[in-house]
A = this chain, B = another copy of it.
């Protein structure tokens, strides 16, 4: 293998795939990045066996070939190279590469490419074409509700369904749930559970333009998100996603309408005093009066908010971290919260958007205590 590239091209490609490297994996090649040159292009790939990221960039190929290089050295070195043409070539053995820049050189030990695990193969027919920006926004609005508890794998993912001209994404950790629906053009019916980690990493990748389309492919065991420069593939989670429609309350007895940022900031302030146990904030709702309060050993806080309260008066408590997550996922200036008593799930919505909601179970109110 022998190719020349600019520093920026190399750094761009390595930074994108780096997120899938698993540095502490007992399989040593997995701490590396696979380099593969084709006709005037370089494809770099990294995988942790669940998530695989590949990035293809234009380079000048002098001799096609491949090698696996340790991610930590090659990414750090690339980032610190001077801004001159970079020549990378492998020795005959194919287990070390020389990086030449100006009058200087570095030689890094790697692994022959045939020791790298086989990467999942892209199915022939795409399932869906969607704009990167829209897909990311749907993911951002839903993924916070996924669980991180690996003992129940189904809850660590998000259900991605395509049917009836719409894409639906749902995540729940059983305490909360987020649901988003987006009209799409697709013929296939698809229902898979995508690992939360895959979506979280996708949000971090600032690829090319958000306007660009991403093509989604689905195989028996994998889902693929493909753009002109990169391909992200992920194992799907086996199992059955719980039937969630039935838990979404259709009616409510109390509703508040608040400025999203104000409610979020008040909840964040109220949480500051909580340093132990579950961070619970209390709401006292009466006609057009909302008081948010917390009492702890450290002191108390009482936030009185001017916001619209309709329906029955209600005293209700929430895990403040969960409430903040839900409010941060709201992408509208105002937020609606529909409630049906102190023990039933609240429904959090953007006004004028029936295609998004999240659900939040109230926290058990703590026994009253004297100040």
Residues of A within 8 A of B (CB): 70, 73, 76-77, 80-82, 96, 102-109, 262, 265-266, 268-269, 272-273, 297-306
Give the docked Cα–Cα distance between A365 and B330 (Å).
60
Report yes or no: A105 in contact with B301, Cβ–Cβ below 8 A: yes
Residues of B within 8 A of A103 (CB): 304-306
Point out the residues of chain B lying under 8 angstroms from A272, CB to CB: 73, 76-77, 80
**Chain B min CB distance to A70 (Å):** 7
CB neighbours of A105 from chain B (8 A): 301-302
For A109, the chain B residues whose CB sits under 8 A away are: 297-299
A265–B298 CB distance below 8 A: no
Q: Is the interface of A mostly helix, strand, loop or mixed?
A: mixed
Tell me how many chains of this kind the complex includes.
Answer: 2
**Are B299 and A73 in touch, CB under 8 angstroms?**
yes
Partner of A265, one of B82, B96, B106, B268: B82
Chain B minimum-CB-distance residue to A302: B105
Q: Show 18 A/B contacts (Cβ-Cβ < 8 Å), sorted by A.
A: A70-B298, A73-B272, A73-B273, A73-B299, A77-B269, A80-B265, A82-B262, A102-B304, A103-B304, A104-B266, A104-B304, A104-B305, A105-B301, A106-B299, A107-B299, A107-B300, A108-B298, A108-B299
Residues of B within 8 A of A70 (CB): 298
Assess whether B299 is in contact with A80, with CB atoms less than 8 Å apart.
no
- How long is the Cα–Cα vector from A104 to B82 in the complex, in angstroms? 55
Contact yes or no, A298 B73, CB < 8 A: yes
List the B side residues contacting A96 at CB < 8 Å.
299
Check if A273 sits within 8 Å of B303, measured CB to CB. no
Contact of A269 (CB < 8 Å), options: B106, B265, B273, B305? B106
A273 → B minimal CB distance (Å): 6
Minimum C-beta distance from A234 to chain B (A): 30
Q: How far is the CA of A18 from the CA of B297 in the complex (A)?
A: 22
Query: Contacts of A297 on B, CB cut-off 8 Å?
Result: 109
Closest Cβ neighbor of A269 among chain B residues = B80
CA distance A272 to B69 in the complex (A): 14
Kindly list 16 other residue pairs between chains A and B, CB separation below 8 angstroms, not including A81-B269, A104-B266: A73-B272, A73-B299, A76-B272, A77-B272, A80-B272, A103-B304, A103-B305, A103-B306, A104-B302, A104-B303, A105-B302, A106-B269, A107-B299, A107-B301, A108-B273, A109-B298
A269 to chain B, nearest CB (A): 5
Report the separation of the CA atoms of residues A266 and B105 in the bound assembly, to the nearest whole angstrom: 11
- Give the distance in Å from the alpha carbon of A24 to the alpha carbon of B81 in the complex: 42
Shortest distance from the beta carbon of A54 to any chain B beta carbon, whole Å? 25
With both chains docked as a complex, state the minimum distance between the C-beta of A32 and any C-beta of chain B, in angstroms.
12
- With both chains docked as a complex, state the minimum distance between the C-beta of A284 and any C-beta of chain B, in angstroms: 13
